[in-house]
Amino acid sequence: MIIFVDENLPPHLARGFDILQKPENIKLTGAIFVKSIVDEFGRGYLDEEWIPLAGEKESCILTQDYNLRRIRHQKELCDKHQLGMFYLRPPSKKGFTYWEIIGILHKYWPDICKIAISQKRPFAYEIRSRRGISRL
């Protein structure tokens, strides 16, 4: 299982969470690898190009790009390619600070991994700092 971190989040978050996840993979029936879309496919890759490639890898996506859910053809593309989607939703238009993102991911990482492994794809969840994770 791969959880891809979208281009709108720092690629080193993926590298860091991949390192932190490795000891936990021993306990799981299937390992979870965390990769950056930028590292895997390159910077500036169009959503319409990387979504099918991520789908081939039976992946989940962690993103702040709520347009992937709002824009009809992109949502249909995510569903068609059986992606699991996790949307970070900031409390305001200012967005999250870097450390808020790390704090939220740290807090909800076990839940994200449990959902990624156990839920049938496609699925979509929203992650909010105060409300936690909820299915969309």
Longest CA–CA separation in the chain, Å: 39
The predicted model scores a pTM of 0.93
Q: What is the predicted pLDDT for the residue at 28?
A: 73
Residue type, 8: N
Q: Phi, psi (5° rounding) for residue 129? A: -60, -40
Mean pLDDT of the chain: 92
Structure tokens at 31: 């390992």
**Sign of the torsion angle spanned by Cα atoms 113, 118, 122, 125:** negative
Question: Could you give all domains of the chain from N- to C-terminal order, each with its CATH number?
Answer: 2-135 (3.40.50)
| pLDDT tens, position by position, 32-44 | 999 999 999 989 8
| pLDDT tens, position by position, 56-100 | 998 999 999 988 888 899 999 999 999 999 999 988 778 889 999
